[in-house]
A and B are shown apart, each in its own frame.
Chain A
């Protein structure tokens, strides 16, 4: 490895081709599970054999015909959307407070906001469960929305903080000098400048809620069970391709959503340049 030349010509050197081959192998390792699940969902065998001996849509029909999957999918959406909105509100407020008025309290405050990202969800879950019970919300729709918002806020905080740092606060000050009040400055200057960060944070919060299992195990009931929870239940008694079919559909949806999020992110960084 000779990291001593202009980056552009670096990969062209002999010897670096070994590095390139290595990189491709690691990326293949990262793709491996997807390469297994997607073909598996079309397998004509009821048990899991690979490669499948024939192809069928049967497992997708199975998913469509079981109301439990559809209910869970709908639950995941109706939990994820308010979680994303609440996370956006709390996360954006926190990011504005820290980046625009940084002082002694901002570091401990940031640590608090980021903490749910670091903490094992099982600890949050066993603390939150009795809290939710004492509020009389056990198994309710609100319970899981609250739980997922706690873990969704840091994502918005991170993306909005990055967006706020990408443009100079002098722009806000200019608006203030020109006579706009604080609220108008926020709506007409700060918000348009940071909305890609806000939107991608909101999508990340949605995706987190969509994928979260531990809090769902503790805080959802029969009426609010989410997709990860039903997959988890199914995994513990049978490994059928139905799970693979559902998993493929979920993958498709999250990839789509997060593709949009990263496009927004790319737009943001282009603006920043």
Chain B
């Protein structure tokens, strides 16, 4: 809230502007989500049967564990890969900075379906990667890369990397370098300067990036469906299958509700300590 709006009489008029989007989102977001949740508890009357199915079948518990594992691995890899890149982008100046920012944004603009397709071409049995390794003589026969977790995770890191880089760059560009100089004058070495000052000041970007990547990774569908095998499916793929292959809406609802609770839990936890916009609204 801006201090001026408190005594600005038009404030209440502006609150009415929230009504149309509220009605639209109530009808087409809140009610549909409520339908999913209610549907997960109803069969012939109220029942927990669908949840029993989800939590007793090792197939489904494995899917959730696997989804969390992948989301965690992908987030960690994105952070490790993105941090030094963001550092360079934040500290380089002029055309190089502009060019690098554009190169981070361009893949973000291209379709996830198309990018996953590119990874399929790369990872196929007679694909670019296998052909290259064969001709180098590093392997004797093509490796099975498609339909493994490796393929899914590499492609997911690629797709989600810009979501980590951008909040990091924004935070790093706001870091006051006189603080680091002060630390240096007071006798801190480079490692200590980095750990005690720079890293701490960049933490808001780290949490925003990690939250954004982790939450997005949890709901990934296209990449695991195209590149993953039947052994390693993620939750969104299983939910879609439950509906389109098995026509089991209650099961899909129960699986969705569990995924919804996990996603919203992480998001609300994050929003509790920040503005909740995942660094997207700017300063």
A residues engaging B (CB < 8 A)? Answer: 1-8, 10-11, 19-20, 22-23, 26-27, 29-34, 36-37, 40, 48-50, 89-91, 93-94, 96-103, 105-107, 109-116, 118-124, 126-128, 130-131, 146-147, 149-150, 153, 158, 161-162, 165, 169-170, 172-173, 176, 182, 207, 210-211, 213-214, 217, 228, 231-232, 235, 239, 243-244, 247, 250-251, 254-255, 258, 262
Contact = CB atoms under 8 A, between A and B. Distances in A.
Q: Which of A36, A121, A122 has the most CB of B within 10 A?
A: A122
A73 to B, nearest CB: 13
Interface residues of B, number: 107
A27 B103 contact: yes
B266 to A, nearest CB: 9
Interface string B237-271: 00110011000010011001001100110011001
Contact of A3 (B27, B87, B110): B87
A127 B36 contact: yes
B134 interface: no
A102 B18 contact: no
8 contacts: A2-B193, A23-B88, A36-B128, A101-B12, A101-B13, A161-B277, A214-B221, A231-B111
A97 B282 contact: no
- 3 A-B pairs closest in CB distance: A120-B219, A127-B32, A33-B118
B236 to A, nearest CB: 4
Binding site secondary structure of chain A: helix
Contact of A20 (B2, B20, B88): B88
A185 B205 CA distance: 36
A100 to B, nearest CB: 4
Contact of B222 (A33, A50, A182, A213): A213
Contact of A131 (B35, B114, B193): B35
Binding site secondary structure of chain B: helix
A188 to B, nearest CB: 15
B190 A131 contact: no
A23 B2 contact: no
Nearest to A36: B118
A118 B267 contact: yes
Contact of B85 (A27, A121, A262): A27
Contact of B18 (A109, A111, A128): A109
A182 B109 contact: no
B256 A123 contact: yes
B18 A93 contact: yes
B121 A31 contact: no
Contact of B124 (A48, A115, A150, A250): A48
A119 B260 contact: yes
A100 B91 CA distance: 35
B230 interface: no
Contacts of B59: none
Given A2-B190, A158-B277, 11 more contacts: A5-B181, A30-B103, A30-B161, A33-B119, A34-B110, A118-B267, A120-B219, A149-B28, A150-B25, A150-B28, A150-B29
Contacts of B68: none
Contacts of A214: 221, 236, 240
Contacts of B239: 122-123, 126
A113 B271 CA distance: 14
Contact of A126 (B24, B85, B252): B252
Contact of B4 (A7, A119, A173, A211): A173
